Structure formats: C-alpha cells, structure tokens
Amino acid sequence: MPPSCIESLMLPVKTVKWVGDADGVLDLLDQRLLPQRVERLQCQTPQQVYEAIRTLAVRGAPAIGVAAAYGVCLALRNKPEETPLAEAKTLVAQTTLHLASSRPTAVNLFAALNRMKAVVQTSPPCTAQFKQRLLDEAHAINQQEQDNCQTIGRCGAPLVPDGKAVLTHCNAGALATTGIGTALAPFYIARQQHKRFTVYADETRPLLQGARLTAWELTQAGIETVVICDSMAAALMQAGRIQAVFVGADRIAANGDTANKIGTLGLSILARHYDIPFYVAAPSSTFDRSLPDGAAIPIEQRNGNEIRRFNDTLITPSQAETWNPAFDVTSAQYITAFITEHGILRPPFAESIAQTIPQQTDQHDKRESYE
C-alpha cells in the first residue's frame, strides 16, 4: 500500500490509534499540550475517553467520533469471556449514552456511536465475539474517516490556487481527524502536486487552535504558514492577499447551514464582501439531514475561564462576565461549495446535499436518541 499523504510529508502525528487486540488501549495525542510538548494519553476506560473529549485532549469532529467508538470498546476491556452476553450489551449501551454527553455539536460523535449501538443489536454467540465485533466496527469507522480525508483532499486540491495565499480557521487537519484532515487535506494533496502557496492561519481565540495546532502541523509538513490574529483577516482580504478560504465543519444541516468553530461566520461574511471563494470541507458523516437548517444545531457553551485566563494568568477583570460559545453557524448563502468524499457540492445546497449525501448517513436518531 502506498504511503499516506501525511507519511510522505513526514508529519509526525497520529491523532487516534488503538493498540492491541479487543482488550487493548486507546492511544491519543494530547492536543492540549501542543506545540510545546508532544505527549500521548493511554485510555483504558470509557471515562478516560469521555474526559479526553470533554477537555479537548482529542478534538475535531471526525477524531472525536473515532475516539468515542474506541471508547465503547473499552467498556468491555478485560471483562472475562464468561461474562453474560446480556450484561455486556447493557454495559455497552450505557457507555454509548455516557460518551454521547461529552460534547453536543459535532454530529460525527453521534453517527459513530450509532454504528456502535447497531452492533449491540446483533446476535453474537458469546461476549468474546461481541467484543471483537465492537472493535472491528470501531476500526471500520476509523478507516472510513481516513479514506474520506484522502478523497476530500483529492477533490479539493484543484481549488487551491497555485502561487497564491489561502486562509483557514481553527484546525481541520490531521489533528482533527484520523487521516490527513478535511479543510487542510486539499493543501497536503496540492503540495504533493508541487503547488506553491501560503496558508494564513487565524489564531482562533480563545483556545488558539489555529496558532497552536494548524500552524504546528502545516509547518511540520513544510507548508509556508503565517499566523495572524483573528481580527486581522479583514485587512488581509481588503489588501487582496487572500484568494480562497478553507474551513471544516462540525455539523451541516439539510439546507447547507454549517456549524464550525466560533469566528467562522464572520470570515464567511468577509469573504462574500470581498468576493473570495469560501469552501467548507467535511465528510458525509458531518451532514445531519434530520435538521432543516442551522437554527436547530445545538451550540456548545464552554467555561468562561477559557476567555478570562491565558494559562494561569487572569487577563480580564474578575467582575467581568463572559460569553463563550464554541461554535457559530454560517448561513449556506455565504458558502461557495462543500468539499466532500462524494465530490464538490454547489448551490442550491438543499438539492445537492439531498442528491449526493448517501441516504444511510441520514439517520434521524443521530442526535435525538441521546437526548
């Protein structure tokens, strides 16, 4: 098998990996420590996976879906083979519910857990085979995400302007997936095709995923990267220095309205004003056709200390309140196209999404079955 794009670019990262057999462990890159330290977490229980997702040790919609799938497998780690099958299935069902409560917005989490729930409905002859089926399904989810990333990269690479500059927000690269990323995947493939371009990375306040994570992985891959404060994007566009914007997504409604990291909405409006293409790259697992539009997407509210503090230093008056949504919703009218593993989707999105995204991903209970 030929080396992946990440391997050929010598990017030293594997965000999520399973080590061992059905009684193995989940090995995660701890993204809270990047870029200062590269350390890994060994998760042996579902609760450890829950905390890793909740605290953003693992983050990015595809990556948390895969991590949660493996977290379900950990529910039966080292359970004896003589454990009654009914008991094992009950434990797994409880674990899927718990992991689903870790974060509310990224639909990939619920899509992956639904697939693990489906294994519970099968009829394996014993607990040992049940454990193996769970692990096989988690591996399949992982492989599908990796394959999707490669295809998204190939589909999106022609949109990367040669000799020009692009802008991205937050991190939708290898660190957010188990493959080469979504929004960054076209950059990696374009680089393989010998295109030369510059990527401007918004720092992405308050947790600096752009400055810490996107800049780290792009520079590791040898791609020219410039980090800017979020407030500088408008000036860059006004100066004519940005030719395209590429972002990822955490949930996409049936009409194309898209939830992504807070700040994405503002960029989309700026891009429309300056007539700059605005691309959203995401696998079909990120589309939630059970939601008619973005108004129905749940938006995670995070702890205000993420704004108040930088590391251990208080940077705001203690009396000041905060408002800290993790995501905003970009209206479909500001999106030029979606880059998916099924190709490029263009307006009208209600039609192109319905016609292109496979029906099996349109699971009405992706979200509702966990509420």
What confidence tens digit (pLDDT) does each residue in 139-176 have? Answer: 999 999 999 999 999 999 999 999 999 999 999 999 99
| Reported confidence tier of residue 5, pLDDT bands at 50, 70, 90 | very low
Separation between Cα atoms, residue 50 and residue 64, nearest integer Å? 10
105 and 39 within one domain:
yes
Give me the pLDDT at residue 12, please. 55
Q: Positive or negative, the Cα torsion across 338, 343, 348, 351? A: negative
> How does the average pLDDT of the chain come out, rounded?
93
92 and 187 within one domain:
no
Q: Which of 125, 150, 175 is the last residue of a domain?
A: 150
Q: H or E stretch including 115?
A: helix 107-120
Q: Which of 131, 150, 169 is the last residue of a domain?
A: 150
Q: Is 250 a catalytic residue?
A: yes
130 and 212 within one domain:
no
Domain residue limits at 56: 5-150
Neighbours of 96 (CB within 10 A): 25
Count: domains in the chain:
2
Please state the pTM of the whole predicted model.
0.93
Considering the candidates 202, 230, 250, 288, report the single residue annotated as catalytic.
Answer: 250
211 and 74 within one domain:
no
Q: Which of 100, 120, 150 is the last residue of a domain?
A: 150
**What's the average model confidence in pLDDT over 218-245?**
97
Separation between Cα atoms, residue 353 and residue 282, nearest integer Å? 12
Bridge partner residues of 49 (DSSP)? none
190 and 143 within one domain:
no
Task: Inform me whether the pLDDT recorded for 73 exceeds 70.
Answer: yes
Q: 98-101: long-range contacts at Cβ-Cβ below 8 A with a sequence spacing of 24 or more? A: 98/46, 98/47, 98/50, 99/46, 99/49, 99/50, 99/53, 99/68, 99/71, 99/72, 100/68, 100/370, 101/370
Give me the pLDDT at residue 8, please. 52
Task: Please list the helix, strand and coil fractions of the chain in percent, rounded to the nearest 5, in that order.
Answer: 45, 15, 40
Task: Inform me whether the pLDDT recorded for 7 exceeds 80.
Answer: no
Separation between Cα atoms, residue 304 and residue 228, nearest integer Å? 23
